[in-house]
Amino acid sequence: MDQLGGLSVAHKSVGQFFQSDGDARNFHKDLPLHNSYGSSYLYQPDLFRAGSCTCSTVSEPAFLSVVPYLQKDFGKSGSEIVGSIRRRLGHLYELSSEDGEIHLTHSGTDAEILVSALTLLGTRRSLCNFIAQGSEVGRGSANASACRHFDTISSMGNSVEPSTEIGLATDQVETLVFPLRKPSGERFSCEEIESSLEQQIAQKIAAGSHALLHVIDHSKTGIAAPSYSFARRMKRTYGEHLDVVVDAAQGRLSRGRVKQCLKDGFVVFVTGSKYFGGPSFSGAVLIPPGFFQESQRQLSLDLNGYFSGVNLGERVAEALAVTNREPTPGLWHRWLAALHEMEAYYGAPSEVREGALLKLSQCFQDFFQHTPNLITDIVFNRYGETEASKGALEALPTVFPFFFTDFNDSKKSMKAEMNDVRTFLMKKEGSKSELGQAVDLGTETPKSTLRLAIGAPLVNEVMGAYEEDRTIDLQVVVKNIENSVVPRLETLSQDLQQAKKQVLGA
């Protein structure tokens, strides 16, 4: 093949497809074929991928799986490839057409706009969103749920002004943010969150609003709130005046949980990135049958800058007056790579997946026991006593927030310094590691946490799940972890101490 800057034409084309279709987060100001978080749209064969809680670098098998599609004609509308993506995604989540509809979005942030618009369209009341704090769910979520622009570029490539209305009158929709942490950075209990929420929901509904309650499961640092039992109780109490959306955009929800949420009438946000390791910005919205039956009003809302009708499906596109039918090959290629990862993951026997997750979670916890000068903030039981976990993915911690015991804050904020540590590790010759971006913990503390995270690509790697004629044995998987993952964690421990000295001067 011809080479372009050391890359084959095909490989560079895949990277360019992955980066197309989407908002400004798709682009890094300095690095070509990188997103704004510093992750590459090209695979990095020597990278230790331990950052699946943020927009992370795609694995080599998932990347290469898309190369054959470069020669395929998706047609003018792309309806065939979108239909295929929906079918494959539905099969992976073990859903039938009776369980709900699948709509593709460029990101979880765009999904907020879609669900708010549909909810508002289905009621004569004004809409009030109840959503978790932005540092834990995404900086654009509050604006998007209020049907406001959240970036300088819309998902379909239009220049827009952040925080300005997409088209609604200000009195039709609002967003109330509930904190998951105290100003000190300490986590609120689920009971504290729900007590405050219950009062606010009651007040808003009594004042004539329709409530859209967002359950986050889970946040960037592993917090799940409010509980499903609370959401079900609110739905029983307020009926047609309240809807629930489950933000599972971390991808760390069991298939059984997703199906139960749809059965309860809850909308669910899912992703092909984050836990599943597909390219950044691969979103989908699962809409249960009872959600949005018919329009109750006309909306002065133009969503053609955010969605293509071919990705939404005819019923929803028509209801929201999305007449744009432009192809979105970037989104489709990202989903194709993600599906390759997901199918390898769910193609393995469940007992092996569960065993691999258990062993990996133990190894990551041991890492913090043996690495000096680190403080962790790991959520070990995300549901507390309110809900039984469905499998290892929900029962075990797979995201591990941490920060250093001391840091030099004389020149930069802790968040900036922690992200500098992350950049150092990603560039470390001979032992590159990708961690999750830094997250601020509280408004009255400088503390900011980096995150280690287990993702499906790592599970697939130790299971040998990418191999076509694979025979997956749990004992072999455990040996693979001990022979490959444990040494990489030991190297990362040493690299963190070096990064601490070089970046933090401590």
The pLDDT assigned to 412 comes to 53
Please answer whether residues 254 and 391 qualify as being in contact, where contact means their C-beta atoms are separated by less than 8 angstroms.
yes
User: Is residue 7 over pLDDT 80?
Assistant: no
SS3 357: helix
Percent of the chain with pLDDT over 70: 95
**What is the dotted CATH code of the domain comprising 79-334?**
3.40.640.10
User: pLDDT, tens digit, for every residue of 273-326?
Assistant: 999 999 989 999 999 998 987 778 888 889 999 999 999 988 999 999 999 988
Beta strands in 33-148 (DSSP E): 48-50, 101-105, 126-132
What DSSP state is assigned to residue 463? Answer: H
Residue with tokens 């009438």: 265
In which band, very low, low, confident or very high, does the pLDDT at 71 lie, cut at 50, 70 and 90? confident
Contacts of 414 (CB under 8 A, 6+ apart): 403, 407, 438, 446, 447, 448
Look at residue 411 and tell me whether its pLDDT is greater than 50.
no
Quickly state the pLDDT bin for 61 (edges 50, 70, 90). very high
CA-based max dimension of the chain: 66
pLDDT, tens digit, for every residue of 157-168? 999 999 999 987
Can you give the pTM of this predicted structure?
A: 0.95
First vs last Cα of the chain: how many Å apart? 48
Q: In this model, does residue 3 exceed pLDDT 70?
A: no
Q: Is the pLDDT at 5 greater than 60, yes or no?
A: no
β-strand pairing of 209-216 with 448-453: unpaired
Give per-residue pLDDT as tens, 114-155.
999 999 999 999 999 999 987 899 889 999 999 999 999 999
Q: What is the pLDDT of residue 4?
A: 41
Across the beta sheet with 48-50, what order do the strands follow?
48-50, 433-440, 448-453, 399-404, 374-376
Q: Is the pLDDT of residue 504 over 80?
A: no
Whole-number pLDDT of residue 482: 96
**Which helix (H) or strand (E) is 403 found in, with range?**
strand 399-404
| Chain-centre distance for alpha carbon 324 | 26
DSSP sequence for 286-329: EE-TTS--S--S------TTT--HHHH-HHHHHHTT-------H
Q: Are strands 209-216 and 126-132 parallel, antiparallel or unpaired?
A: parallel
Q: Where are the domains of the chain?
A: 3-65+349-504, 79-334
Tell me the average pLDDT of the chain: 91
**Statement: residue 1 has pLDDT above 70:** no
Q: pLDDT, tens digit, for every residue of 432-479?
A: 999 999 999 888 777 889 999 999 999 999 999 888 777 778 999 999
